[in-house]
Amino acid sequence: MNILNNVPLILCFEIDALVQQAQEADAVIVMECAVGDTLVDDTLLLRVHGGTQPLAEDRLRHAIRLARERTFERDPKYPLRLLVDIAIRGLSPAVNDPTTAVQAIDQIEDLLLRLGRSALDAGCVMDERGVLRLIFPTPTWGDYLNLGFDEIRQYGVGSVQVMRRLRSALLSLVDSLTEIERKTVVQLYLQHLNLVVEHSTLDAEDRVIALQEDRQGLGLSRRRTQQ
């Protein structure tokens, strides 16, 4: 028995069913849990605001699909999480394999490029009359960016190779994104990365090298060093 898979988690919401129930009662349903959240005892699933009649708890529960494991199809955070785990495992002192981390960043960059060009869930659903019926937690672009890069930045700050590849990925996102707000989020992350490198334990010469973008990590220096 795998105890790590013994606690159910939220696989997805049946949005149409929840909206229909809220509409029938002239209410608004606010989900307190997000896709991927595990459900322990007494977890609050949702709140119902307003309404002309009570909503049946069994119908509400049936509109929340549970599982024992996360899936790529239902939870776009999950593949990012797995890739980050691979990267930080490679950066651990026991393994000390920064090239594996760089290869994981290759895949993380690809996923973030796809997400950055996609319409992300707003977390609010209206009925056909334009009345708000359902609110649910959903990741922002910044959430995806932080998930993809934060731990790699933290564990890889002492690796010139990782810092160069991470910088290259961020610059690629800046070049590819069309929405100003998302582009600004990445630019701010780049500024944070600069500060992290400047305050790292790397010596002065290595800090200069770490601030150069390189898709291979170490192998081909680029020109942009101060974005």
pLDDT in tens, 174-221: 999 999 999 999 999 999 999 999 999 999 999 999 999 998 888 776
CA–CA–CA angle 79, 83, 89 (5° rounding): 145
The pTM of the full predicted model, rounded to 2 decimals, is 0.87
Does 2 reside within a domain?
no
10 Å CB burial of residue 82 (0-12, 13-18, 19+) is: middle
CA–CA–CA angle 191, 196, 197 (5° rounding): 100
Does 130 reside within a domain?
no
CA distance linking residue 65 with residue 204, whole number of Å: 53
Does 133 reside within a domain?
no
Are residues 164 and 206 located together in one domain of the fold? yes
226 pLDDT higher than 80: no
What pLDDT was estimated at residue 74?
78
* Range with the poorest average pLDDT among 137-141, 167-171, 204-208, 217-221: 217-221
Are residues 160 and 85 located together in one domain of the fold? yes
Does 95 reside within a domain?
yes
* Range with the poorest average pLDDT among 7-11, 111-115, 149-153: 7-11
1 pLDDT higher than 50: no
What pLDDT was estimated at residue 71?
82
Does 187 reside within a domain?
yes
Mean predicted confidence (pLDDT) in 46-66: 93
Q: Cβ neighbours of residue 39 under 8 Å, at least 6 residues apart? A: 7, 8, 9, 10, 33, 45, 66
Are residues 88 and 154 located together in one domain of the fold? yes
**Domain containing residue 59:** 8-67
3-state secondary structure of 98: helix
CA distance linking residue 35 with residue 161, whole number of Å: 34
98 pLDDT higher than 80: yes
What pLDDT was estimated at residue 224?
57
CA distance linking residue 174 with residue 113, whole number of Å: 10
Averaged pLDDT of the chain: 91
